[in-house]
C-alpha cells in the first residue's frame, strides 16, 4: 500500500495529504477511520433492508465482503496496514466501536456471549475477504461459504443448551 494509492482511493493528492498529516501512519489512521464510518453505514443498511434475523446476518456478511472487494485500498488501510487503532480497548474510537456494534447487532439474537461471537464472525469475514482479494478461494462459492458461517452462528445458539456456547473454563 502506497500513499499514492491511498490518495487515489480517497481522491486527494499526496501533497494535500502530507500538508494535513504529520506522517504516513497518521494518514493511514485517518483513512482507516473514514473507512470504518463507511463500512458501518453499509452494514447497517444491509441489516435494515433484511427480512428476519437470519437474513440480516447473511446480508451483513455479503455487505462486508462486498465492501472489502469494492474498496480494496481502503479495506487494507482499515484492517491490514499497521495503525494504533484498537477495538479491544475501553478507549476504542467511536468509529471503530460503531462498526463492531453493527456486526454485534446481527449476531445478538443468536448468542449470549455477544462479544465473542461478534469477534469470531468478524474474524471469519475478514479471513474470507482477504482470501477472496488474493484470489486464493473459489469466487463462485461465496454464497455457500456465507451460508455455512450463518448456519454455524444460528445453530450454535439452538444447540448449546440455552447458554450460547461454552462458558469460560470449559
Q: Could you tell me the sign of the dihedral formed by the alpha carbons of 85, 89, 94, 95, in that order?
A: positive
Dump pLDDT digits (tens) for 35-48. 999 999 999 999 99
Closest CA to 44 of 126, 100, 114: 100
Q: Radius of gyration (Cα) for the chain, nearest Å?
A: 17
Kindly list the distances between the CA atom of residue 170 and the CA atoms of 19, 26, 112, 167, in Å, as whole numbers in the listed order: 53, 42, 15, 6
Global confidence as pTM: 0.85
Give me the residue spans of the domains in the chain. Answer: 3-158
Dump pLDDT digits (tens) for 56-112. 999 999 999 999 999 998 999 999 998 989 988 888 999 999 999 999 999 999 999
Residue range 3-158, CATH number = 1.10.357.10
Query: Measured between alpha carbons, how far is 82 from 91 in angstroms, rounded to an integer?
Result: 18
Amino acid at each position: 500500500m502506497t500513499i499514492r494509492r491511498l490518495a487515489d482511493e480517497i481522491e486527494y493528492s499526496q501533497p494535500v495529504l502530507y500538508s494535513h498529516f504529520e506522517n504516513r501512519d497518521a494518514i493511514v489512521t485517518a483513512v482507516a477511520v473514514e473507512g470504518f464510518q463507511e463500512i458501518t453505514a453499509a452494514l447497517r443498511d444491509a441489516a435494515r433492508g433484511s427480512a428476519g434475523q437470519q437474513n440480516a446476518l447473511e446480508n451483513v456478511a455479503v455487505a462486508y465482503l462486498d465492501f472489502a472487494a469494492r474498496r480494496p485500498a481502503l479495506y487494507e488501510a482499515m484492517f491490514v496496514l499497521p495503525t494504533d487503532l484498537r477495538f479491544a480497548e475501553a478507549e476504542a474510537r467511536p468509529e471503530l466501536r460503531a462498526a463492531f456494534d453493527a456486526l454485534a447487532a446481527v449476531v445478538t439474537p443468536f448468542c449470549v456471549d455477544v462479544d465473542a461471537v461478534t469477534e469470531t464472525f468478524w474474524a471469519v469475514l475478514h479471513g474470507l475477504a482477504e482470501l477472496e482479494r488474493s484470489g486464493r478461494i473459489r469466487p463462485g462459492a461465496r454464497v455457500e461459504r456465507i451460508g455455512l458461517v450463518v448456519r454455524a452462528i444460528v445453530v450454535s445458539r439452538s444447540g448449546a443448551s440455552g447458554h450460547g456456547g461454552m462458558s469460560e473454563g470449559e
